[in-house]
Structure 1
Amino acid sequence: MAKSSTAKTSIVRAVKTSTTTKKVTKSATGAPSQLNQSSRKGKRAWRKNVDIQDVEEGMEGMRAEERVIGKTLQATKDQDLFQIDVKGDAQVRKSLPRFSTSQLTSTKILAQRSAVPAVLSRPSTASKKRKSLVTHEEKARLLRISKRPRKGPFNSVIDPTELGAGSAILELSEAVKSSGTYDAWAPPPPQEEIKDGLETVQPKVIKAPALTRVRDTIEMPAIVEPHQGTSYNPPVQAHQELLLQAHEKEEQRIRAAEKLADVKEKMESAKRDVEEPNLAVASGMKLYEDIADEDEDEDESAPDGGADIAAKRLPPRKTQAQRRKAARLLAEKRELAERAARKRMLAVIPSAKTLRRANAKLMWARKMEQEKKLTAETEKLKQQGLAGRKLGKHKVPEGTVDVQLGEDLSESLRQLKPEGNLFRDRFLSMQQRALVEPRVPVLPKKQRTKIVEYEKHAWKRFE
């Protein structure tokens, strides 16, 4: 009897705990739920608060199977779901798709498409537009035959007789219809020779210009990989190398500025050395006193006076004997000069082959040097582009070296300060790759009002 009473009490406690436990009020499928009931008095409360979550989950699973496969697995036959492999295939692994890390979850979700066809709001036959049996041109021709007015835009009547007056629709010309089919550089079609006994003018064949573009030679990337020394925590050797590059560029700039300053100073000193013009006398004129002083100096410089100068300048007349003697001496000098020239030529003839070989070697060395120089320039053009070259009026800049000193380097990314300018780097890269011509920045000038002064008539009279 005691055992039966203890069993009853344990059953009552189990029932109490099962009734007092709090049920989940939220449905797993997202449907509205009313499971949190206060009492079970009456059939309405039992029907309203009944728990059918397991039934809803099963139905939702069947709906998912129908969306993916097209029908439920219960309605699918076994031969469609399973296959007995007796022999096996070694090529299955090769045909299976490989795992790709680039496939995102969003791509997988978008790739899932339902096998159930979409529901249309209207029948598919009515959604298709009926094709017109009569074309637009045929309709216009029938309207012209029946002499009915043809309607245009804004329900206006078009008169086909007034072409070009604005009311008729003009058709496309032959030039517009054949546009894009003519090639100016295409080879001309073969022409038949006309043998009519007359002179026929053949059209001149135009050849396409063979031009080499510098842009095709440049292989410089759009964004050059930065130097290791530009990092916020660079290696010591790379940072020192970048500092030396910046130092060399700065020295070149200072030397160019000093050279320009020296040239300007020489020009200014040359201007200062020139005598200042006499404002009292016009340019190109001399005073009478200066002319008289110059004449006196010339007279004093002559030893016997100015009258003997003209007499000394006149050479005496030669006699016939003197003339013959001078001609004989001249002929002897010419003969000696011809002998010496012939002797030199005879001495050079045996060494002609040696001179030709030396000349060929010299020309070959010059040619090889020119080819080597051209190859170096081409390689530099491929790697560095047009940096440092002058095109037109301006020179393509080489770019600056962005480097920080040792005490300015930051120890972390939080303390890093930006260096350089991205817009300047992109524009400089386009100039070096021959995409944009070299230019000089034009800064806007502030417009200043010009003051115009007028002098009144009363202030012009000086007394």
Structure 2
Amino acid sequence: MPPTSTSTEAPSQPSQPSRKGKKAWRKNVDISTVTSGLEVLREEIIQHGKPLAEKHQNELFTLDTTGSKEEVLLQATRAGKPHKGKILKMDEILGRRSAVPALENLKSNKRTLGAAVTDGVLEPSSKRQKKDWVSKKEIARLRNNLDKTSHLDVEDIDNATSSFDLWADNGSSDAVQVSSAAGTATTSATTSRENEYVPKHRAKVAPSSIRRPPVALTATGLPTQAVPQPDAGQSYNPSFEDWDSLLTREGEKEVEAEQRRLREAQIAAERQARIDELANQPDPRPEDNQESEWEGFETEDETTSIDLLKRKRPERKTPAQRNKIKRRKEAERLAKHEARMAERQRRGEEIFQSLLKKQDQHSDEVANIDGPERSDLSSSAPAPPATVLRRKPTLGPSRATIPPQPLELVLPDELQDSLRRLRPEGNLLSERFRNILVNGKLEARRPLSYAASRKKRVKVTEKWWSKDFSLRV
């Protein structure tokens, strides 16, 4: 399909010669002369930069000093260099440039002198600037400088003290804050604006229980020594009397523990035997009951429905009855608490009195001994008493117990006559750890396996409140 020719003329109403003299329903306006005149004016502006009517007469005529193009080509042909004078069609098209200057780009005008790409010579900007105009960046810089307090602003600068000590060990402790009220207020306001969205640092607060002394788990409630004095029989080279007394005491403890274990095992066996005996007995049957109704007895199975209806139904308690029951239970609880406190106070007084009696007896024995015997007594100190724990050697709801004290005793077959063949007894780490538990500085805990810790982990799942829905059929 051939391209349709486009018309550059203005739209006009076609002539209607066949309307038999009837006038057109609107006036036909012919603007072809105006359009052609504007077209000629546009061509003049493109070629010469301005209309020819506005140009001076000296600009309308030029002196031809080179001759016509044909003459130039003829001279080049005669010289044997036709390509020197020939003008290419491409050069001819590119040479026909418009004399009208190109439009300026707004973005290029906004670029600063430093950002412009030039040949090294800075041209003056076409934008006229005011003489007293200051940029926003310069205003912000001046404001920041005004907010800062300079040491030169101090009136008595010669006698002013420094804000820090150069020779101090810790600058923060010996610092001397020197600042005016206005400067401090301005700085605090600026800092508050800058740190508006920064979370404030909260200092760590120690719990109130850290100031309380630990509760010892001994029977007397008194803490023990961090490193208790060992028994004389535990020495590497003890005397026979000390070793024999230690062996006797530890043997009695083991015998008591074994007797206690056997007694508990016997009680458990008797209890299990009674349970088995009751389980093996046959269940009683109703026909085994030989009692009759005429003798004045009636079994539970023989009760009629009339007797069941005649029974009095349990009625609901009134508020007065409920309050009475509450008061009675509260009185019983207070009575039990007072009795428990009285028993605890009595036990504490008994322990205190027994300690006083032992101290008085020991002081009397020391006073009755003569000089040389007293020196021997001081040289051979008595064995320290063993730490007795209370009935529940734990704090709080913990079910863990304090590990028992290890047995540090050399048996008769292990006695050595040479110090080189001795082996060390005990463990300082375990002893110190047990002493910390006894003094209440740490709580006793059971070792937890890795599998048990995995089971107790909380599983984080996604909430389903936005996914659960009910279908209405």
Give the TM-score, by structure 2 length.
0.32
Q: Which has the higher contact order (CA 8 A, sep 6+)?
A: 2
